[in-house]
Amino acid sequence: MANFNVSDIRNVALVSHVGTGKTSLAEAMLFDAGQNTRLGKVDQESSLLDFEPEEIKRKTTISTSLASFDWKNKRINLLDTPGSANFAADARNCMQGADSIVLVIDAIDGIKIQSSKLIKQAQELGLSIFVFINKLERENANYKAVLENLSSAFEGNPVPVQLPIGQEMAFKGIADLLSQKGYIFDSDESGNFKESEIPGEMKDDFDSTREASLESIVECNDETLEKYLEGQELSGEDVKKALKDGINSKQIIPVFFGSAAKNIGVSQLLDYIAEYMPSPLEKGAVKAKDANGNDIEIKPCETEPLAALVFKTIADPYAGQLTIMRIFSGSMNSDSSVLNSSKESKERIGQILHLVGKKNEPATRAITGDIVAVAKLKDTHTGDTLCDEKKPVIIKTIKQPSPVISFAIKPKSKGDEDKIQSGLRRLIEEDPTLNSSRDAQTKEMILSGMGQVHLDVAIEKLKRKFGVEVILDTPKIPYKETINGDTKIQGKYKKQSGGKGQYGDCWIEIHPLERGKGFEFVDKIVGGAIPRQYIPAVENGIKGAMEEGVLAGYPVVDVQIVVYDGSFHPVDSSEMAFKMAGSMAFKKGVMEASPVLLEPIMYVEITVPEENVGDIMGDLNGRRGRMLGIEAEGATQTVKAEIPMAEMLRYAPDLNSMTGGAGVFSMEFVRYEEVPAHLAQKIIDESKAEKEEVS
């Protein structure tokens, strides 16, 4: 690869809803740039970008790939991100390394929810946006309908800078509105084309669209706008400057057309990326915190100290970890030492790599604005900042979304628990939206993620990379028990079997506490009714009984226990006896204090096309959901509700079924609430039956 300056770099993320042909577009770009000898297919080994077995099996992008290549004397760092909602967090993380995005839209299906969300996230990150309308060669392709929907989908002004020549099977080229030239492509997918006049049959449409686009473009530059309003003829440079200003300021969103599969319009898109997409210098500063926690901005400057953000890691049991980062300031040299300010540890930089999908090219230095990979860093993961030891900073990162689905996992082979935990730890380093935990209440190992496919892929990787197989099962709901009433009760433990006996006697009051208050123990013993050394034993006995539960074996919460009286034996009393007395009193007392079951309640946001809202609301009512409101955004609506966790365990496939795969949701725990009586009895009966089966 040639040497280049910061102003020559273009960091571009390809983003889209799943199935738009985004990776095919990336492969066509690499083909045109001479990085591949033939067009890659996402389900074949010829693909440079989708090469993981899980991607080839599913014919879709699962993990972002980086491809660095040169085009028209510019260095393009292309990030091919996943489109599935299961892996959307990976796309969001990697967009932090970009300065702009190309949103790929299917000319048949148009804009879908995931695309709308990605646009919103790109705008929140301050990225410039291009739109590429793909698959124009397909039957029922309708670019005009897509253009109409673009304006309502997001903030910004979509402006066509091209028009397609021909439609559906007759689609054969691109008419450029700025140069007023046509480009007719060969039919052999070679990307070869010849310049032509604008076809006569589309001249009227071309002229009217060009006039409307020029009006939008010239408004982005005051000098050009003034010339335009005065009726002066605009030069090509005038229009170019206004267009670049509009892209950098995010006032306009240029729209392009083509066919990735036929390699039509791809080279023209690359020309515009090279000429008009912002460089790291034009993108500007990134927000960070200094060593004292003060907010600062890091400006893109090679002479400043190093500051780099790790936005992706790839775990490999043989090659070691591969860390992908964006250099926001300064430079990085191979065989150098840097500070991981997020972990407050030093790292040794070995070989620096420029990636081209599954290939890599070694480099000795990375400059401001570049995106590179480094192998075998010992303690650096996604979201960490690497910087100069003398000027520590931490670059601000986006918040990771909460998991929406969980499964209990157990090894297929006994003794593999440690291997599972080790493998999951490596996978979580690679993908921070995975979460592994052990439920203290149910004792199950829980794997959580963004969807069923997300977890399926994680399990496949666990087997392929780390040689361990697991069984997935629906996790137990962490119910709890509490009381609604008060009572006073005696717990008396007396045992005599020859020799020294056992004697413990206590009187306690049991009162309910506010939800979420937990447990409160109050000692009101006076006059030595129970010796001081035995009071903790009473409390421990009660705590033990609380963990075991009374109704259905679930922990008891939100209770106050007052020990106020009792008696003891000078010889037979012991800590064990009073522990037993406390446990007995608690178990009897809870049953007299109106015991109830509690269940976890989740806050849920479900974003769906407008036409699906009625079905979603009806379904949520059937899940005992409590509606909180609906928020409209473009062609989608977000339903907000509170729903019991028990009703949401298998929601992902149901939502896909109701919306044809167009819906997405997120959820998080909010509080515990009482289970309705008829459902509580069923849970209690099931728990008793399970205990009897075990015994």
Do 68 and 161 lie in a common domain? yes
374, 395, 416: which is the final residue of a domain? 395
* Residue 661 region by backbone torsions, left for phi larger than 0, else alpha for psi between -120 and 50, else beta: left
Q: Give 149-205 pLDDT, tens digit per residue.
A: 887 766 668 999 999 999 889 999 999 999 999 999 998 888 899 999 999 999 999
Do 388 and 431 lie in a common domain? no
Euclidean distance between CA atoms 132 and 617, whole angstroms: 34
pLDDT attached to residue 234? 86
Q: Which residues pair with 307 in a beta bridge?
A: 329, 387
pTM (two decimals): 0.78
pLDDT above 60 for 292: yes
Give the Cβ contact number of residue 2 at 10 Å.
8
Q: Residue 317 — pLDDT band, cuts 50, 70, 90?
A: low
pLDDT attached to residue 695? 55
Euclidean distance between CA atoms 583 and 537, whole angstroms: 10
Q: Considering its fold, how many domains does the chain have in total?
A: 5
- For residue 438, is it within any domain? yes
Domain CATH number, residue 305: 2.40.30.10
Q: Give 356-368 pLDDT, tens digit per residue.
A: 877 888 899 999 9
CA 41 to chain centre: 26
Is 344 strand, coil or helix? coil
Euclidean distance between CA atoms 384 and 370, whole angstroms: 17
Q: Give 654-674 pLDDT, tens digit per residue.
A: 888 898 777 888 888 888 999
- For residue 433, is it within any domain? yes
E-strand ranges in 569-635 read: 595-609, 626-633
Do 437 and 499 lie in a common domain? no
Contact 16, 83 (CB under 8 A): yes
Contact 555, 545 (CB under 8 A): no
Domain CATH number, residue 38: 3.40.50.300
593, 612, 637: which is the final residue of a domain? 593
Do 276 and 311 lie in a common domain? no
Residue 528: partners with Cβ closer than 8 Å, 6 or more residues away? none
In the chain, the percentage of residues whose pLDDT exceeds 90 is: 55
Residue appearing with tokens 């900042």: 385
Do 612 and 575 lie in a common domain? no
pLDDT above 90 for 424: no
Q: Give 33-71 pLDDT, tens digit per residue.
A: 988 766 655 555 566 666 666 666 777 777 788 899 999
Do 96 and 11 lie in a common domain? yes
In the chain, the percentage of residues whose pLDDT exceeds 70 is: 94
Interval 626-647 mean pLDDT: 89
Domain CATH number, residue 652: 3.30.70.240
Contact 21, 134 (CB under 8 A): yes
Euclidean distance between CA atoms 8 and 68, whole angstroms: 13
Which residue in 177, 186, 122, 191 sits closest to 153, CA to CA?
122
Give the Cβ contact number of residue 22 at 10 Å.
29
pLDDT attached to residue 481? 94
- For residue 340, is it within any domain? yes
Do 268 and 124 lie in a common domain? yes
**Dihedral through CA 167, CA 172, CA 178, CA 180, nearest 10?**
-100
pLDDT above 70 for 113: yes
Q: Alpha-carbon torsion 410, 412, 414, 417, what sign? A: negative
* Residue 566 region by backbone torsions, left for phi larger than 0, else alpha for psi between -120 and 50, else beta: left
Interval 259-286 mean pLDDT: 95
CA 205 to chain centre: 42
Among the residue ranges 39-48, 258-267, 302-311, 625-634, the one predicted with the least confidence is 39-48
Structural tokens at position 293 = 């926690």
pLDDT attached to residue 319? 58
Q: Residue 132 — pLDDT band, cuts 50, 70, 90?
A: very high
- For residue 313, is it within any domain? yes
Q: Print the domain residue range for 428.
A: 405-473
Query: Alpha helices of 508-610 — where are they, by DSSP H?
Result: 535-548, 575-591
Domain CATH number, residue 531: 3.30.230.10
- For residue 207, is it within any domain? no
Q: What is the mean pLDDT of the chain?
A: 88
Residue appearing with tokens 């609906």: 630
- For residue 226, is it within any domain? no
Do 458 and 517 lie in a common domain? no
Q: Give 212-258 pLDDT, tens digit per residue.
A: 999 999 999 999 999 888 888 888 899 999 999 999 999 999 999 99
Concatenated DSSP letters for 375-419? Answer: E--SS--TT-EEE-TTS-EEE--PPPPPP-EEEEEEESSTT-HHH
pLDDT attached to residue 203? 93
Do 585 and 657 lie in a common domain? no
- For residue 230, is it within any domain? no
C-alpha dist (Å) from residue 230 to 160, 211, 216, 225: 24, 16, 16, 9
Do 57 and 167 lie in a common domain? yes
Do 516 and 449 lie in a common domain? no
53: enclosing H helix or E strand: helix 53-58
pLDDT attached to residue 15? 94
Do 555 and 497 lie in a common domain? yes
- For residue 661, is it within any domain? yes
450, 473, 496: which is the final residue of a domain? 473
Which residue in 617, 643, 615, 641 sits closest to 628, CA to CA?
641
